[in-house]
Structure 1
C-alpha cells in the first residue's frame, strides 16, 4: 500500500516537458527516451530502481509481458519477459473495449447531426443498428442510450459481480459473456436484459460489441477500417490488427474461420509502444499534433464517473478512481485492463502513461491474427506457474506512482 500523500510527489511542470510533444512512428525514430537513471530522475522525477521493483512484481502476474512508462513525453522504462517484446502482437482481450469507446467518440464527432442528444441518444432504431436487431425482443431496449451501452449500464445480462445503486450483488446463474462468442452480432443483439436500462451495472462484453455494431452501421465500414483511417494512421501505429481467426467459434465466422465483423468487445492486437500512443492520446484529451482526433469532452468523461453509470466506478470502458478507492493514486487516474494481465493507465495530473503488458501462451498465438512475428522467443517462461498476487492491475499502478521521487 502506498502511504505517501500525493502532495509529497514531485509534480514537475508539465508544460516544461511535453507541451506539444508527440512521438513519431517507431520506424521514424519513435518515442524520445532517456536511459541514464540520474537523468531520468532529474527530468521526470522517476526512480528507476523502484521501477525495477515494479517490473519484478509484474513478472509474477502473467506468463509473458512487460512494463513501459512514459512521463512528460519521455519513454523512460521499457522491459519485457517471456514472449513480451516491442514487436509482439498478442491478443489484448478486453483492452480492445477502450478502442471501441474511442471509435464511438470519433463517430459522434464525424456524424454530429445523427446525435442531437449526444450520449443520451437512444440507439435501438434503424438509424443506428442493422435490420437483424429488429423487431426488438424486449420493449425496454427501446430506451437504451449510447452512454449506457458504453458504461455497461444498459441492462444487458453479463458476468458477476453486478451493482445496483452502488451495492455489489451476485446472481446464481450469470451469462457467460466474456469470450469471442459474445462479440458476434447474433449473440450481442439477442442478449437479454436483467434490469431496466440505467438501473444497474454488469460487466458485459456484448454491450461493447453493440457499440461497435453502431459504429459499423453509422460509418458504413468495419470498425477496424474506420480506426485505421481515423485513429491508428494519424497516431503512427505500426503493424496491428484483431484476433479475427476463431475456427472453433459457432457462428459469426466464414469458411476460413475468420469473424465476419470487428469484435468490439476485445481481441485487438497492438504493439506495446503503440499502446502507449493510445494512452498518450487520452492524456492529451484527444489531440494528436494539431488534429483533434476525438472530442476533449468525451475523453474527459472516460476518465471520471459518469451519470450513465452511477452504480460502479466504470466509465466508458475504463475504470476510474474519482472516489479514491485505490489508495495512493490520484483521483483523475483511469485505466483499462484485459484478461491475461494487460492494462493501459492514464494519470493526467502526473503527466503519466503506463502499459502493463501481459498475456498467456495462447494469446501470443499468431494463428489468431495471422500477423507476422518479427522476433524470437527463448522459451524461458514455458514452465511458468501462476501464483496469487492480489489486484495486480491496481498494485502495478500504485508501485509505478510510488517510483515518483519524494521532494
Structure 2
C-alpha cells in the first residue's frame, strides 16, 4: 500500500521547508488468512519429491556345497544360486581357480552344469554372476580322492553299501558252483572293495586259456617299450616262426603273418600245438593269414616265442618284475608251469607257453582284472599305458570281415573277440553292459572287467571238477558260446542299482 504525507515545517529550521514522504507497506497473510485465495481455505497439498533410485547391488552368489569323489568317479552336478534385483540381466561363468588342468564344464555359462575332472586332486571352482556393471562370485572345493587299491588284503564292503543286490549275487554264485557240480571259488569287487566271495580265494587253480589274457600284459609292455607293433611282421622278429613242420614254408604264407594275426586267432595255424623238430612235426598252417578266424593254441605259443626273443628274457620274470610285484602277486599266487608242448628253453632263455600253463589264485586274478579296470594304473603308478589297455580290449577292424572256421562253437567271434580278450562289444549278452570284457579258459576260469559298473569278477575251479566224463565246467566241452556265460554274468550286472 502506498501513502503520501506532506510536512509543512520543521521545528528549528530558519526557513520554512516542506517534505513529501512516500510510504510502502507490505501485507502478508498469516494464520487463517489467505493470499488471494478463497478466505478460510487451506493451500493445495504439494506432491512429495520422487524417491531416489535404489543403490546398485552386486549379485549374491552361492556356488553350492563342497564335494568329495573317489576315482574313477570324476563327474559332479553343480547347481549354484544367485540373488539379484534383475535376474534376467545376469550372465554366469564357471571356472577353475586351483587344481590340475583339464577340467571340463558341460555348460560353463549356466548356473547349473556338469563338471568332469581329469584325475585325482583338489579343485577350487568359482561361479561368477554379472549384471554388466557389477559381479559377484563364490567358490566351492571338490576333492577327487585316489581310487582304492588292495594292499595285502582287500577292503571289504557289503553288497548294500555298494548298491548291489545280494540275492542276485547269490544266484550267480549258485550257477557257478552248482552247474555240472563245477564248484570252485570266486570273488566280486566293486569300487576297489571286496563285496562278495565264495570258496577259498587263495587257492591256485589252473587258468587254461585265461593264461592268454594274463599273458597279454607282456604284449602290452612290448607296445609301451616301442619294441613291437601289431602290424609288425612276425617272421622278421622270429625267423623260425611256423617251422616245424617244413611243409608250412611251402605255403608261402609264413612271411605274411603279423603280430596282430597271432594275437587274434587269424594267423591260420591249427589249434593244437606240439613241436617235434626231430620228426619235423608241428602245427600246420591251415588258412591264409588274415582270412579266417580259427581258435589256435599253436598261434598263441608262437606269439609267446616272439615275445621271449623280443624281451630276451623269461616272460615270467618280465611280468613279475614290471607288474606282479607291484600288484602284490608272488609266485605263490601265480606261476607258469613247465611247458607241455615246447622245449623248455628258446635261445638259452626260459620258454613259456601263452596258450595255457598258468596257475593263479582268485585273489591274483582279481588284482589283474583290477589293473585293467584302472586302465593300467596301480596306486599312483602307471604300469601299463592306458592306450595299450584300450588296444587289447577293442576288437580289431581287420578281423571283422574274416570268416569263422567253426561258427557252431565260436559264434560271433569276429565281432566280440579282441586282442587276447573276449568282449561284449557287439551286445551278444543283452543284459550285460557292452563295455564288459573278460579272460576265459577251460573250466570257465574267468576274469571279468565291467568299467561302466566299476566291477571285477574272478572265478575258477579245479580241473578235476571239469575233467570227468562229458563234463567241462558249465559246458560239456569248452567253446566260445556266450550262452554259457549269461546265467553267471547277467545277475551280477543286474545286481547294481547305482
Output one character per residue of 1:95-152: Cα deviation in whole Å (capped at 9) or x when no partner.
0000221211112212x1x33xx21111112x34558959872421111111111111
- Residue 103 of structure 1 is matched in structure 2 by 218
Kindly indicate whether residue 314 of structure 2 is the aligned counterpart of residue 314 of structure 1: no
Corresponding residue SS for 2:355: coil
Corresponding residue SS for 2:438: strand
Structure 1 segment 317-328 matched on structure 2, within 5 A = 317-328=420-431
Structure 1 segment 1-400 matched on structure 2, within 5 A = 14-15=72-73, 20-26=146-152, 30-35=153-158, 40-41=159-160, 43-61=161-179, 63-80=182-199, 85-110=200-225, 112=226, 114-115=227-228, 118-125=229-236, 127-128=237-238, 133=243, 137=249, 138-158=251-271, 177=272, 182=273, 190-238=282-330, 239-242=332-335, 244-245=337-338, 252=343, 261-310=351-400, 311=402, 312=414, 313-361=416-464, 391-400=483-492
Contact kept, 8 Å, 1:153 with 1:308, in 2: the verdict is: no
RMSD: 3.4
Structure 1, unmatched stretches of 5+, are 1-11, 159-176, 365-380
Contact kept, 8 Å, 2:242 with 2:302, in 1: the verdict is: no
Structure 2, unmatched stretches of 5+, are 1-69, 75-119, 121-143, 403-413, 477-481
Corresponding residue SS for 2:189: strand
- What is the TM-score normalised by the length of structure 1? 0.72
More strand by share: 2
- Residue 368 of structure 1 is matched in structure 2 by none
Corresponding residue SS for 1:331: coil
More helix by share: 1
Contact kept, 8 Å, 2:466 with 2:473, in 1: the verdict is: no
Q: Relative contact order: is structure 1 or structure 2 higher (C-alpha 8 Å, sep ≥ 6)?
A: 1
Q: How many residues align?
A: 332
Decide whether aligned partners of structure 1 residues 250 and 51 sit closer, same or farther in structure 2, where only a CA change above 3 A counts.
closer
- What is the TM-score normalised by the length of structure 2? 0.60
CA displacement at 1:272 relative to structure 2:
0.9
